[in-house]
């Protein structure tokens, strides 16, 4: 069977959207699924989203990237004061884990999943980062602040020196549409805010979108 390459945009705790998307794309063992980060915060069920991603590793090759929201969460787990994280949706994440004062409510398997997430990844035709990139540097030499924190409103990069098409998230398009700049596609389509979770099969260009209740876009 033909190998497929999927990218999934920012999930932000929208586990029902993710469930519907996974069911629709039906990943097979020969397929690769790249998730662009920001699995947690803001939406209602971050724990459920991470559970599904861990299970997805048994069905296909999963390439999870780390988003800035996971970075904030990991900083808190390492002892950083939680104020910034809570301001950007950490409360919803803690609620989904049943937090009552003890961060051990976040299971070891989830912490291990975050630890295994990549900063960026590339295939033969595409490069993937959570947020952005510098056009004149290979992926392995990109600053984390650019990859994970810099949105497209701050900087629209030129085509990458590799000639590969960049697939990013992080900059939520509140219209719910994919931002397509030819050399760059942003597939954060504002699911938690009332629009869509987007999945794309990059070889064919096929697109799937679901709202946070798991309903498909008509």
pLDDT digits (tens, 9 = 90+) for 81-96: 999 999 999 999 999 9
pLDDT of residue 61: 99
- The 10s digit of each residue's pLDDT in 12-28 is 999 999 999 999 999 99
**Residue holding tokens 């988003």?**
67
Q: Nearest-CA neighbor of 9 among 145, 194, 200, 182?
A: 200
- SS3 category, 185: strand
- The 10s digit of each residue's pLDDT in 114-154 is 999 999 999 999 999 999 999 999 999 999 999 999 999 99
pLDDT of residue 83: 93
Q: What confidence tier does 10 reach under pLDDT thresholds 50, 70, 90?
A: very high
**Residues in CB range of 152: below 8 A, 6 or more apart:** 132, 168, 170, 171, 179, 186
Q: What confidence tier does 1 reach under pLDDT thresholds 50, 70, 90?
A: low
Radius of gyration of the chain (CA): 16
pLDDT of residue 120: 99
Checking if the pLDDT of 2 tops 90, the result is no
Percent of the chain's residues with pLDDT above 70: 100
Percent of the chain's residues with pLDDT above 90: 99
Average pLDDT, the chain: 98
**Residue holding tokens 């519907």?**
20
Kind and range of the H or E run holding 180: strand 179-180
Taken in order of first residue, the domains within the chain and their CATH numbers are: 5-210 (3.60.21.10)
32: tokens are 């690769």
């Amino acid at each position: 069977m033909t190998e497929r390459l999927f990218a999934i945009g920012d999930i932000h705790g929208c586990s029902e959207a993710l469930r519907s998307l996974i069911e629709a794309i039906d990943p097979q063992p020969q397929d690769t699924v790249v998730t662009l980060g920001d699995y947690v915060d803001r939406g209602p069920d971050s724990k459920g989203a991470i559970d599904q991603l861990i299970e997805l590793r048994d069905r296909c090759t999963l390439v999870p990237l780390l988003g800035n929201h996971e970075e904030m969460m990991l900083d808190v787990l390492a002892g950083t004061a939680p104020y910034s994280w809570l301001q950007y949706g950490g409360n919803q994440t803690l609620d989904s884990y049943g937090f009552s004062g003890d961060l051990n409510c976040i299971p070891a398997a989830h912490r291990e999943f975050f630890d295994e997430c990549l900063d960026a990844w590339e295939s033969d035709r595409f490069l993937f980062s959570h947020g952005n990139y510098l056009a004149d540097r290979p992926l392995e030499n990109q600053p984390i602040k650019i990859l994970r924190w810099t949105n497209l409103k701050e900087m629209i990069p030129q085509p990458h020196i590799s000639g590969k098409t960049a697939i990013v998230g992080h900059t939520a398009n509140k219209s719910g549409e994919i931002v397509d700049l030819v050399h760059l596609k942003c597939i954060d389509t504002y699911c938690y805010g009332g629009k869509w979770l987007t999945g794309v099969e990059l070889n064919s260009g096929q697109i799937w979108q679901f709202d946070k209740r798991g309903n498909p876009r008509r």
